[in-house]
Structure 1
C-alpha cells in the first residue's frame, strides 16, 4: 500500500512542473500588464499635448474673428451714418485699404441691397459683379439680425481661392435692408498657421463651425476637404450631450486615419477646433520598445521553462535531488520578482498699450492693473537686459520678430518660466514701426520637465552618482581648468573585487544593494563642491579630485578603501577577508605641463588599477607621484 509520504514524493515532479508554469504565466501576465500601462501612459501624454494645442488654436481663431468683427462693426456703423451715396463710396474705396492692416484679412467688400459691389480692397473691375446669390447675402437680406455671420467657405470671385466669410447687415435710415459689409479670410491662412505646430507625421488640426462644416485643415493639399459637411459624423450627431471641450478618439472620415484628438468650442463664436494626432504615430515608439522588452521576457520565460524541464526530469530519476529542486524553485521565484497665451502690445516707450485677459492666468494681474506699466516689469533681473535688447532691436528695425525664454514674476505663484514671441507693428498711415506685439506662454511645466530630463541624463539610476556621460564632460572641463590655472588634477578608479562572484552567490538584488552602499561611501568622501564621484561602468567607479596633489589623492583613496572595510559587507567568495573590498588605481597630472588630452590621465589610473588587481587586490596603487607627461613643445 502506498503511503501518503510516498504519494507526495511521486507527485513532487508534477508540483514542480506546475510551479514552473505558474512562474512563466506570472511573468508574462506582469509584463503584459506593464506594457498596457506604458501604452496608456503614452496616450495620456499625447492627450495632454493635443489639449494644449487645441487651447492655443481656439484662442487664435477667436482673436482672428474678433478682429474681423471689430472691423465690420466700424464699417457698418460708418455706412449706416453716411449712407451709400457716390461721395461716401468714393471715400470708402480709399478708406478700405487702410483697414486691411493684418495678414489675417484677405479682403473687405461692401454690397448694396441688390448684391452689386460698391467698394472693395481688391484691385479689379467689379462694376459687373453681383453677390446676391451668395448664402450670406440672402440670409442678411431675409433676416433683420445685425450680428456678425460667419459663413461657409466659398470660392472667391476676386481671387479664385477658398475663403471664409464674416459679414454684417447694413440698414438704411428706416431700418430696411441697405446691403452687406463683408470681410474674408483665406483658408490657407489658417492652414499655414497650423503648420507651425507639430502634430506628428499623420496628425492634423481642423477649424469647423458648429454646424459641422470644415472651414480649414492643416493636412489638406489643394483644399480638397474645405467646405466638407461633417454634421453626420458621431462628434456632431452627439453634439448636444457633449461638453464644450474634451478628448475625442475617432477614425477620420476624410482619410481613414485613426486619431486621438481634443476638440475645443469657442465661447464667443460658432466655431470649434479639432487638434489630433495619429494613434499609430503616438504608439509607434511604445510598440518598438514593447517589442524589445517582450522579446527579452519571452527569452527569460523560455529559459525558465527549459531549466524547469531539466529539474523535473532529474526529480523523476533521483529523489535525492528534492532539496536542490526546492532551492531552484526559490531561485525561480526570485527571478520572477526581479524579472493658453497672453497677448500684449508694447509702445515705443516700453509701456503696455494692450494686455489680453489671459494675463490673469500668466501673471496673476488683471489687464487694468497692467495697462500703462512697463513691459519689463516683473521680468527676472538676470533676464531683463536680454529681453530689453531684443525689444530695442525690434523697435529699431534691426529684426522683425524675436523669440526667447525668460523668468517672470507671478502674483500668486512666485516665479514662472515664460516663452515670448515678439513681432513689430507698423503705423497704418506712415508704415513706420510704432510698437511691438508680444505673445507670452507659460512654459513652467515644460521647463521643469526639461530640467528633470537633463538631471536623469547625467545621473546613474542605481547609485545616484554621476553617470559615465557626466563624468566624461566634467573630466574635460576640469582638465581645461587645471591647464588654465596650472593646478594638479587627480583621478581614482575603483573596482569592486570579485563582484561577479558576489552577484552569482548572493543574487542581483544584493549586488545592487552593494553598489548603492559603495555609492554612498564615494559621495561621503567626495566632500568638496568640485569633487565628482561617478559610476564608471558596471562595478567600476571613479572619483575626480580637482586641485589635488598625489598625497591628497592617496589619502582620499585609502579613506574610501577603509570605509568599505568598515562597512563589513559579507563576501565569502573574496578571500582572505571574506568581505566586500575594492582595488583602487590613482593618478595625478599637471595638464599645463602636458601636450596630451585628459584620456592619458584615465589611462594612467587604469594601469594603476590593473596593478592593484595583479598585486592581490584590496589595495591602492598610485601611478607614480606625478604622472610623467610629455614636455610642451616650443
Structure 2
C-alpha cells in the first residue's frame, strides 16, 4: 500500500518539475522585461541629469560673459558722465576703446551713441559719421525710459560688420539728468553657436540661449535670421528657476527631453535638449542583444531543467548539498570583516561572528546571552528598539540603521547595521540576523564635506550658500516671532587698487584680516558673518534694531582704523570699508521678502560709497552728499 502510493507520487515529479521550470522561465522573462524597462527609464533619467548639469554650466558661462560686457558698459557710462562737456572727452574715450579692442575676448565691440543716435566712439575701425542707431529697438527703449539697468536685446544684424549679434546696452545721462545717449556692447551670435557645438547632445540635440520671453538669442546651429528672436517652445515657466520639459519643437515629430535653467543675475535662460530617439539609440541596440542572449539562456535552462528533472529523486544528495551550504554560510560569517549576529526573540545574542574581536574588542563568548542593544549609545537605543518592534509586528522584514557603539576600551565608533527577520517554515518569526559594519571613517568624511559646503575657503567665514540658507531661516523665525532682522553689507574701499598695487597674495591676506575683525566684532552666537562675494561681506543680525546695527558698524570701522592695514590708494592711507545697513520686521512688512532686505542694505552701501566711503549709512536715513549736492534719502 505504501509502496504503491510512493510510486504514484514519484510518477508526478516530472510534471511538478515541468511546472516549476515553466514558472521560472516566465519569472526570468518578466524580470528581464522589467529590468529593460528600468534600464530605459534610467537612460532617460541620466540624460535629464546630464542636460541639467550642462545647462547649469552654460548658464554660468553666459552670466560671466554678460558680466564682462556689463562691466565694460559701466566703465564707458562712467567715463561719459564724468567727462560730459569737457574738451577732448570723446577723443579720449575713442582712444581708450581702441586700446581695449585686443583684450575684449568674447565681446565683439563696444559703442557709444549720443541722444540722436550718432556714433561717438567705438572699438570698430569705421567712420563714425556714417552711422546712426536711433532706429534700433534698444535705443528707443533707453530714450523713452529712465531705467538705467542693463538691457539684453534680441539679435540684430550689425551695421558695421553685417554679422548677427546680441546687444547689451545701458543709458547714460547728462549732468542735469537728461538723456545723453546709449552705450552698447555686442556679442557675436556665432560665438555662442561655435562654443555650444563643442558639447555632445546627440545628432538632433540642441543648446539654446534664450531671453526670458522665450525668444532664441543663439543656439548650436549656424546663425539663421529666420530662427533668431523666435520661440522654439510654447512657454517656459519662470518659477521654478530650472526644470525638465518634454515637448516637440515647431514643425518636428520627434519627442524631446529638455532642461532649462534661468540665470540669477540677468534675464535669460539656457535650454538644452535631446531627442528620445538619440538618448535611447544605444539602449535599443544593447537591449536587442541582451534579449537575444536571454532567449538562448532560457532555452539552455529548459534543456538543463529536463536533465535535472531526472535527478529529483536523489534527495539524500540534495540534503547533503544543503548541509554543505549551511556550513559554507557559517564559514563565510566567521571569515567576514563585518559582524554577523543572530538575535533571538528575547533580543539577546545567540551567535556572533569572530570579527567582533576586531571591531569592538570583545571576544564572541563574552557577548553571548547579552542584550543586543546593550553596547549602543543611550541616545541611539530608542531608534534600534523601534526598528526591532517594527520587524516583530511584521511591518517590515528588513531595516537598516546607523548608530554609535561602545568598544571595550570605552571609545565609540559609528556602525551601520542591517537587520532582517528569520522565520520558521510555517512563517512565524523566530529571531533576527544582523550584519554590522564599521562606518566611522565614512561619517567623519561626511562631516568634513558638510563643513566645506558652507565655509569660504579663504576667510574661514560662512560662504554665500550658507548666508542664503541662514537668511531664509532667520527671515522665517523673525516672521513667526514678530522680531526685527538686521543686515550689514560691508565693502572694502578701493580694493581693486589694493590688489593692483600689492598683488593678489596681499589682497588675500587683507581679506583674511578683515574677515577676522568682522568675526571678532560680531560677538553673539546667533550672528552670522559671511563672505558675500569678492571683497564684500555680510553680517546677518537676528533680533537687532537700527541702534544695534549702527553700534556694530561703528565698532567695525574703529577696528579697521586700529588695524592700520597699509593702502596708499585709499585717502586715509590704510584699509577702510563702506557699510550699508538695513533693518526690517518681516511679521509687519508682509509684502517684503529676504531679497528686499539685501536690496535695502545694498542701496545703503552704495550711498555710503557715494558719500565719500569709510562710513556707515542706514537704509532710510538722510545723508549729505559731497561736492555741494543736495541731501539724499536712502530708501528703506
Report 1 or 2 for greater relative contact order, CA contacts < 8 Å, sequence distance ≥ 6. Answer: 1
User: Shorter-chain-normalised TM-score: which range?
Assistant: 0.3 to 0.5
**TM-score of the aligned structures, taking structure 1 as reference length:** 0.47
